[in-house]
Amino acid sequence: MDVVTFGETMVLFTPETTGFMRYAHMYSRKFGGSETNFAIGLARLGHRVGWISRVGDDELGKALLAFIRGEGVDVSRVRLDPDAPTGIYFKEIRSANDVNVYYYRKGSAASRMTSADLDEDYLAQAKYLFVSGITPALSDTCREMTQEAITLAKKHGLTVVFDPNLRKKLWPEEQARETLLALAAQADIVLPGLSEGEFLFGESDPLKLGRRFLDHGAQTVVLKLGEKGAHYFTRETNEYIPGYRVERVVDPVGAGDGFAAGFVSGLLDGLPLADAVRRANAVGAIVTLVNGDVEGLPERADLKRFTEEPNEEVIR
């Protein structure tokens, strides 16, 4: 594998109508999870990605597994759990700028993951380990598993990429802050959003935040600024990379995962840091144009068309 990641993916139900979900009668069924959104994004760009997890030994879990496998992600290290269900969640889209997510994941199969779910030999053959801050929020055993994965990655020389992915609904704020700061200190590359940086350090100035993350232990920091783009920092330099203009945002959920996929893809392709961030901005922007967590993730031809032929509306 080029990249290995781990975490929970759930079944996503989205109302066919906008507005309050209480009035919805028809739903579409899709799948979503930060780590597999990221993995699928990389697979569509031609990279080899493996995902470690558990799903319920139920029809939804089997459907989820078939979908992820069909998207080109290696799922050979995913276990079917006969004693716990596959998690589900609902996405309520009241408007493009008002999206609510409701989780039904307590006691799910993925929340029962432990360090025993990690295959050291499998990890050792990868180049990057992608860690999300969601996984340690799921349970004590998931938190221990996250730490063990980082320990194994460092043992075998993998580059650790950490996206804080703050989910305040999943755990107490103080526990979240303490855990995420500890993980950020061990990562080689950190990909925080501006609001996450403010949550962790109480600082909202991008330049100061970049320095705080570097001083905390990271070698590279890419601060996501939403539609404005991103600002990367290393110990030697920093640069602001503008984002791509999008006429109409359809669904913002999953844009951060697309950003991470675009960035790591750029690194795997040997792009300079600024160009990797530029690719990340493009992938994140493309994702917002389509409803669904992974449906908008581009293939290479789509990415090239978006960045080089932005005015081409019809492909003939």
CA distance 51 to 93: 28
Edge to edge, what strands does the sheet with 49-56 contain? 74-81, 49-56, 3-6, 128-132, 159-163, 189-190, 220-224, 229-234, 238-242
In the set 2, 117, 251, 257, the catalytic residue is 257
Of 235, 221, 236, whose CA–CA distance to 277 is shortest?
221
Alpha-carbon distances of 221 from 5, 163, 178, 190, rounded to whole Å: 19, 10, 19, 5
End-to-end, the C-alpha distance of the chain in Å comes to 36
2 is catalytic: no
C-beta separation of 130 from 35 below 8 A:
yes
Alpha-carbon distances of 198 from 23, 109, 286, rounded to whole Å: 36, 32, 26
CA distance 32 to 9: 6
Q: Which residues contact 3 (CB under 8 A, 6 or more apart)?
A: 39, 42, 47, 48, 49, 50, 126, 127, 128, 129, 130, 264, 268
Strand partners, 12: 30, 89
292, exposed or middle or buried, with CB in 10 Å at 0-12, 13-18, 19+? Answer: buried
Query: Which residues are known catalytic residues?
Result: 257
